[in-house]
Amino acid sequence: MSDQPGTLERAVEATLFAAEEPMSVEALAAHLGGLEPAEVREALSVLQSHYIARGIHLVERGGRWHFETAPDLAHLLRREKEQVRRLSRAATEVLAIIAYHEPVSRAEIESIRGVQTSAGTLDVLMEAGWVRPAGRREVPGRPVIYATTPDFLDHFGLESRRDLPGIDELRAAGLLDPVDEAMEAAMGGMGRFDPDDDADDATDADEDDGEDEGFALP
């Protein structure tokens, strides 16, 4: 196949350009008249190569495809100053646990952290678009379970959860302070927290969404 877009590639390109949200291979195949997914994947591969050196890129996030501005040109399109709001320590810990263990319930999150998790902490993550309710656990009480979203993958530049860094990578990048215990606990490295080390986080402390260390909200 030529590395220049042909009829099928142009059809996929036009469909993605007009789509209101990212599309999966299966959705593209169905939209384009019941094509085989393999045909669509091949067309996407050609388009991805075609756009790699251009001002916009074709990217896959969580199994869905869309166009986005090339990372090195994003600053040219900003018209307003971004107001950075940092996640609290509690929210950062909860996000890490959900990312590495999803889907998880609030009780399971609390079991890993060793302290109570307020509904407000989960609300902050859902308002950011990084966490979503993912159904209910089929156990007594049927608790709500939570998972990450495609926006979470997109914000952190991940194609899928398989691209999440391991504990050694995080440590080497200096990203484990001050939430190293949370991240290691989330990945099964340290077990539960010692509540005495997190005295400020007891019960009501999760309501604090102030300027603490952690990831920055857009």
The torsion angle over the Cα atoms of residues 162, 168, 170 and 171, rounded to 10 degrees, is 170
What pTM does this model have? 0.49
Q: Which residues contact 16 (CB under 8 A, 6 or more apart)?
A: 23, 28, 58, 65, 66, 67
Architecture of domain 85-206: Orthogonal Bundle (1.10)
Domains 7-74 and 85-206 share a fold: yes
- Work out the end-to-end distance of the chain between its first and last CA atoms, rounded to an integer number of angstroms: 40
Count of alpha carbons within 13 angstroms of residue 88, beta-carbon side: 19
Q: Which two tokens stand for residue 35?
A: 């094509």
Residue 178's pLDDT band (cuts 50, 70, 90):
very low
Joined tokens for residue 133 = 């309710």
The domains of the chain are located at 7-74, 85-206
According to CATH, the topology of domain 7-74 is Arc Repressor Mutant, subunit A (1.10.10)
Q: What is the arithmetic mean of pLDDT over 67-83?
A: 74
The pLDDT of residue 128: 86
pLDDT single digits (tens) 103-154: 999 999 998 888 888 878 888 899 888 999 999 988 888 999 999 998 888 8
Quickly list H helices, 160-212.
Answer: 167-172, 180-186
